[in-house]
Chain A
Amino acid sequence: MTGPETTTPQQTEDVEQEALVEDALVEEISIDGMCGVY
């Protein structure tokens, strides 16, 4: 098992980015962005 992790600046930014995404009513994804197709 991995040891305790400290939060890096990148991780903080990721959490903030995710909060923004969750707040927005529209999310864009690529039509190629789902697993299980040719």
Chain B
Amino acid sequence: MPVLPGAAWELSPSVSLRPEPFGALAYDFATRKLSFLKSPTLVDVVRRLADAADVEDALLGAGVPAAERDRYVAALGTLATSGIIRERVAA
């Protein structure tokens, strides 16, 4: 599932995100899937999603270098496909 930079996303409510020295572990109670986020910066991006205007905003706020952007967007895509993050419904 592609994550578009202009879309608004958030951590799924059934997910427990646990910081670790290497990044974080994310366990989805609903699907029983365990994901390993390999960079603290990625964890920062994920945490910023809910309050950021959109994905681009979260990436900027976390200080993701331009050269790394695609890699991070791809990672968000993986998280979206497994349901760890979900699109925010407009209030």
B38 and A25 contact, CB distance less than 8 A:
yes
How many chain B residues have a CB neighbour from A under 8 Å?
18
Bound Cα distance from A23 to B23, whole angstroms: 15
What chain B residues lie within 8 Å of A23 (beta carbons)? 71
- B34 x A26 contact (CB < 8 A): no
Distance in angstroms from B65 CB to nearest chain A CB is 14
Do residues B71 and A25 form an inter-chain contact, with CB atoms below 8 A? yes
B26 to chain A, nearest CB (A): 9
Nearest CB in chain B to that of A21: its residue: B38
Closest to B28 in A: A31
A5 to B38, CA, bound (A): 33
Q: Let me know if A31 and B27 touch, CB within 8 A.
A: yes
Q: Which of A23, A28, A30, A33 has the most CB of B within 10 A?
A: A28
A13 on interface, CB distance cutoff 8 Å = no
The answer to whether A28 touches B35, judged by C-beta atoms less than 8 angstroms apart, is: yes
On chain B, the residues within 8 Å of A24 by CB distance are 38, 74-75, 78
Question: Is B82 part of the binding interface, using a Cβ–Cβ cutoff of 8 Å?
Answer: yes
